[in-house]
Structure 1
Amino acid sequence: MKQLSFYIALFISFNSLAQVSFTVSVASKNVQQGQRFAVEFKVNQRGESFQAPDFTGFSVLGGPNTSVSTYMDNSGTRFNLTYSYILQANNLGKFTIGPAYIKTGGQTYRTESIDITVSEKKEAAQQNAKNEDLILKALVSKQSVYQGEPIYARYRLYFRTEIGQQTFREEPNFKGFYRENIDDKRIETSEEYINGQRYVAADLQKMVLIPQQSGELKPGNIGLNVPIRINSGRRDFFGFPITRTSTEELNADFPTIEVKPLPDKGRPDNFSGAVGRYDFKVSLSNTEISTDESITLRLEINGTGNIKLVDIPQPEFPQAFEVFDPEITERSNVGSYGMKGSKVIEYLLVPRYGGTYKIDPIAFSYFNPQSKSYETISSNSYEIKVKGGQVSPNLAGQAQMGGNEKEEVNFISKEILFIKTKAGRWLKNDDRFWLSQGFWGSLALLLLINLGLYFFWTKENNKRANPSALREQKAAKKAAKRLKNAKKALDQNQAAEFYQALLEALWGYFSDKLKMPAHEQSRERLLEELAKRGLSSPTQIRLEKIIEQAEMTRYTQATMANAQNDFQEASAILTEIEGEL
């Protein structure tokens, strides 16, 4: 009787495994206009001739992406073949995704139809509330500023789960702003509490914005895709939990910025748009020269504000001087302080005539947001005495000339040529090159060049005779070049900088190799592209592991424990990929 029960249970078990299940699933049947979502068609048997529905009412952004998974449970080994699509809801209303078809075991199976309701887009704050493990915010140093006053802004991600490489789905257009990004070598993290919950906070992108017009400016929205690890609730053959990667779509509204116009009251005539706090200096290299000498007038502005957009005042020079094109030097930095730096302009002046001349004071004006007023800095006037040379024809007998005087002066060449003090070498009539020391030296040089070309040609032929070794050598060189910065950080025992450089090297390599822009970079997309190009599965698994290791160190305390092994592994993987592809 016990044996009969056993065989009956065994028959039922095999019968249940043999049943074909072909289903369709979506994360939610209610989506918002413009939202992207995934549709999955899953069959538990190997199939062929898969036919997807036409997805009327939606835009197909990606797919079909296929994946195969196997696992074991109390009933035996399970198999799943999944076809997935990424859709975008464009129109409001209720839409039906029709059935999909597949052949397996000589029979055709179909999924059920599924209804999707598309509603109006909600506020970003409401969307973020769906997943309490992830929060995206746009933070600014000020929401009310004057036109031209810099603002420090950043995109901050709060998370309390394991995350992967993020990609921006949407960014503000920043219309009406001048924008300059702040380049950080690595992303710093900190702990913050929100509603009593502890989060890890990371600024994904920092920037300085300078409003170029007044009014209420709305830069736009931020859309971010964040891959997270989700426990499937199942375990593998060895008892370890099986996880899968899911992409969360986060949204945030960039704060509205109120930009106040600069006041008209008290605005100087020479004001050119400088906003901030500045220092202005003017210097002259010499005040007494002769007509065969030159002098340099130097103007320097430095401070904090919209320094990159500031114009340096234009001095007025006496007509008795030839003024050459100025040399301009600019330096600026951006950070949480906004923007600071300096601008230097130097004029080279060459006198045409003797006499005494004057350069009037030079004034620089700017608006100070702290005092809410205009401020002006003026230099001293300079008197220049030029010795020697003739007096200007139109100004004979005058002791001084101002910057506003007018005179007609014929053009003088702008090239200053030096006088040769030594004669060139003269050749004798009986000087000959044939059999001279120069002749034998040239002959020896030609022989050395020919020998070098011979050895180079022989080496290249040997390389061509072994193409696999040549490919491997080139691949190793490319890998070493990509990992140059990572090797430098490794040698300096800098763990965080090493893994950041390693991650940048890997993504930079695949961006160039696969023509994959930054906003499309994700582990899933990368492995999919590499699989299409024929990269072996073991290499794909090793690559995914090293990328995951490097990504996690951006948000955890990195150590040098495995750095050497990770560097060697990354170098080996890039070499193999370059050889295979």
Structure 2
Amino acid sequence: MRNILLVILFGFFSCIISAQVNFRANLSKSSLGINERVRVDFIIDKDGDNFTPPEFENFRIVAGPSQSIKNSWINGKRSYSKTYTYFLSPIKKGNFKIGQASIQVGDEIYKTMALNLVVTSAVDKPLNPNDPSYVADKNIHLVAEVSKTNPYLNEPISIVYKLYVSPDTGVNNWRELDAPRYADFWSKNINIKNLTVENGTYKGEPYRYVILRKTVLYPQKIGELSIEPLVLDITVQTPSNRRDFFGQIINNTVNKTVSAGKIKVQVKPLPEMGRPNNFSGAVGKFDLFVTSSKKELLLSEAFQLDLEIKGNGNFNLFAFPSINLPQSLEVYEPERSEKLTTNFKGIRGSIKDQYTIVPSSAGKYSIPRISFNYFDPNDSKYKTQTSIQNYINVKGAITNNSRIENNAEDRASNKVDLMQYGNLSFKTKTKFKKINQQIFFYSKIFWVILLLPFTILFIILIIQRILNNKKNDKNWIRANIAKKLGKKYLSDAKKNIDNKTKFYEALDKAMMNYLKSILLFDNSEYNAKKVRESLLNKSVSLKTINLLEDIFNNCQMARYTPFDTVDMDNDYRRALELITLINNEIK
């Protein structure tokens, strides 16, 4: 009896031990240099859900998470494990901890133990010409080109970020890890519509390069200023010494982190010698224009005075000049309009203030000259723009001083009335109306307005009936759903044009759903021969069908052939052209 109890207890505890979940974390190394990477594996021997990784503070995730499952049977015993893998790159030196990861198995939450990791100074890596990481380091370079490193305060400088790639190396994708920070600068990014690969040289060697970013900066502080670097994580394809069955070179894929490097800019102060007393901080090259909408007007009219500054410089970073007119000219708040564009040399365009002016008495008025000072960094000296003197002749009865005093209250009330309308333009013409106007009732307009709602309601009812009939048509419903999915996947392809795998998956689904919408077939009925016959029966030309097959072939070959961004742009454009051609040809 005692032996039977021992056997039962042993079996019970064995079942409990075998039912326990083993969830652990492993590091590929416990110490690494700041220029190295470490692999972290989170392994569980049961199937779980809702995996949550740690924060990975002081590290960048350069790859992952990738998931692998191992399931095997040995001597009738099942072995199972699931692994979540990350590749990390340290940000700084020190002793750090990889925190706990968690996962849910059934109704229980399991966590790993925290791991210690030491990050030391950069270590020397062995120079192995066949190592993909070594080849990538030698053939990929991120460079920041600065137009000027010793500008004046508020003088524009430009930074161009270029990615140089050697001819025998390819780039599949990249993502931004750190964006450049422009502390103590006014910055404006220049939009780059398409990334174009160009030929050039790097340190005397032939390279290809692409411009990733252009930025215009205006320094707002004197002294030495720092610009934090742009940091990218790049997926690089490097050639190996191996060849496939067809004799083609097999490429190795490796991830590489590149930095443009920290940039130092020494900003010079504007010179004190020759600085005008009314200098407002304008730096660049400008022209001043003062124009009047009228030279002569009646006492009851108003005119506009335009003050405009054109040129190239630090617009919006200096005080705009103002006008000083006689008291008998009532001046209202100006309307400002801007026409500015940002290019490689800075901000170019114009800013205009338009003043509405109302004379309160007749006479000939002088518009004083207006001066505008700016600093020209090309000539390293201050310059002044002065407008010409304008004259305005106001015609009407000239009032004496006593009459002006007696009518002071009337003018004040008129001013209040004008202020209520702000800067609305003054009416100078009278619109007359006919005395014997046609009565509205029983006119043509009356009958149109009366019958129009009933006509619109009748049209809506007809459209609604047509749509209801179509909704009961299974083929129409299926074609409509497929058409919507085609548009959705085509939009997804455009959004992921920098990601080869996602782009071609979305493009393949888009074209498939488009064909389903016009040919009305199910996925189970699809084959290339049937699609070709169906399109021929609908009078689609062979040239168009061959173009369709080329696009499907590119989608299928995308996993095995290294396409670049230019090829994806071309395939997307051809897909749009193909849809247009089929719509025009199909009957």
TM-score, normalization by structure 2:
0.64
Query: What is the match of residue 387 of structure 2?
Result: 379
> In the alignment, is residue 346 of structure 1 matched against residue 333 of structure 2?
no
**Cα distance in structure 2, aligned partners of 1:116 and 1:40:** 14
Question: Aligned match of 1:506 in 488, 492, 495?
Answer: 495
Asked if 2 retains the 8 angstrom alpha-carbon contact of 1:213 and 1:259, the reply is: yes
**Cα distance in structure 2, aligned partners of 1:361 and 1:327:** 20
Opposite residue 32 of structure 2, the aligned amino acid is N
Q: Residues 299-325 of structure 1, C-alpha deviation per residue, up to 9 Å, x if partnerless?
A: 222222223434431111222223233
Paired residues for 1:40-59 under 5 Å: none
> In the alignment, is residue 473 of structure 1 matched against residue 483 of structure 2?
yes
Paired residues for 1:519-558 under 5 Å: 552-554=564-566
Query: What is the match of residue 262 of structure 1?
Result: 270
Asked if 2 retains the 8 angstrom alpha-carbon contact of 1:165 and 1:551, the reply is: no
Query: What is the match of residue 274 of structure 1?
Result: 282
Query: What is the match of residue 433 of structure 2?
Result: 422
1:341 alignment partner, SS class: strand
- CA separation of 1:41 and 1:272: change in aligned 2, threshold 3 A: same
Q: CA deviation at 1:439?
A: 6.7
> In the alignment, is residue 149 of structure 1 matched against residue 149 of structure 2?
no
Opposite residue 66 of structure 1, the aligned amino acid is Q
Opposite residue 86 of structure 2, the aligned amino acid is Y
- Over aligned residues, Cα RMSD in angstroms? 5.1
Asked if 2 retains the 8 angstrom alpha-carbon contact of 1:354 and 1:392, the reply is: no
Query: What is the match of residue 15 of structure 1?
Result: none
Query: What is the match of residue 463 of structure 2?
Result: 456
Query: What is the match of residue 138 of structure 1?
Result: 144
**Cα distance in structure 1, aligned partners of 2:372 and 2:245:** 76
Q: CA deviation at 1:271?
A: 1.4
Paired residues for 1:566-577 under 5 Å: 566-567=575-576
Query: What is the match of residue 190 of structure 1?
Result: 198
Q: Residues 214-249 of structure 1, C-alpha deviation per residue, up to 9 Å, x if partnerless?
A: 121102122111112245777777776655543211
Query: What is the match of residue 293 of structure 1?
Result: 301
**Cα distance in structure 1, aligned partners of 2:303 and 2:59:** 68
Q: CA deviation at 1:380?
A: 2.2
197-206 vs 87-96, greater mean Cα deviation = 87-96
2:467 alignment partner, SS class: helix
Opposite residue 172 of structure 1, the aligned amino acid is P
Opposite residue 473 of structure 1, the aligned amino acid is K
**Cα distance in structure 1, aligned partners of 2:301 and 2:478:** 67
468-477 vs 369-378, greater mean Cα deviation = 468-477
Unaligned runs of 5+ in 1: 1-22, 70-79, 101-112, 398-406, 484-502, 509-520, 573-581
Opposite residue 221 of structure 2, the aligned amino acid is Q
**Structure of greater relative contact order (alpha carbons < 8 Å, 6+ residues apart):** 1
Q: CA deviation at 1:190?
A: 3.3
**Cα distance in structure 1, aligned partners of 2:398 and 2:271:** 51
- CA separation of 1:58 and 1:287: change in aligned 2, threshold 3 A: closer
> In the alignment, is residue 30 of structure 1 matched against residue 63 of structure 2?
no
1:256 alignment partner, SS class: strand
Opposite residue 146 of structure 2, the aligned amino acid is V
Q: CA deviation at 1:95?
A: 7.1
**Cα distance in structure 2, aligned partners of 1:57 and 1:302:** 50
1:263 alignment partner, SS class: coil
- CA separation of 1:225 and 1:357: change in aligned 2, threshold 3 A: same
Q: Residues 434-472 of structure 1, C-alpha deviation per residue, up to 9 Å, x if partnerless?
A: xx7667645653442122111221243345445433322
**Cα distance in structure 1, aligned partners of 2:37 and 2:435:** 79
Query: What is the match of residue 85 of structure 2?
Result: 84
Opposite residue 453 of structure 1, the aligned amino acid is I
Equivalent pairs, count: 466
- CA separation of 1:248 and 1:442: change in aligned 2, threshold 3 A: same
Asked if 1 retains the 8 angstrom alpha-carbon contact of 2:489 and 2:506, the reply is: no
**Cα distance in structure 2, aligned partners of 1:56 and 1:165:** 23
58-67 vs 246-255, greater mean Cα deviation = 58-67
**Cα distance in structure 2, aligned partners of 1:549 and 1:392:** 92
Unaligned runs of 5+ in 2: 1-24, 71-80, 102-113, 124-132, 508-512, 514-522, 527-550, 582-587
- CA separation of 1:439 and 1:153: change in aligned 2, threshold 3 A: closer
TM-score, normalization by structure 1:
0.65
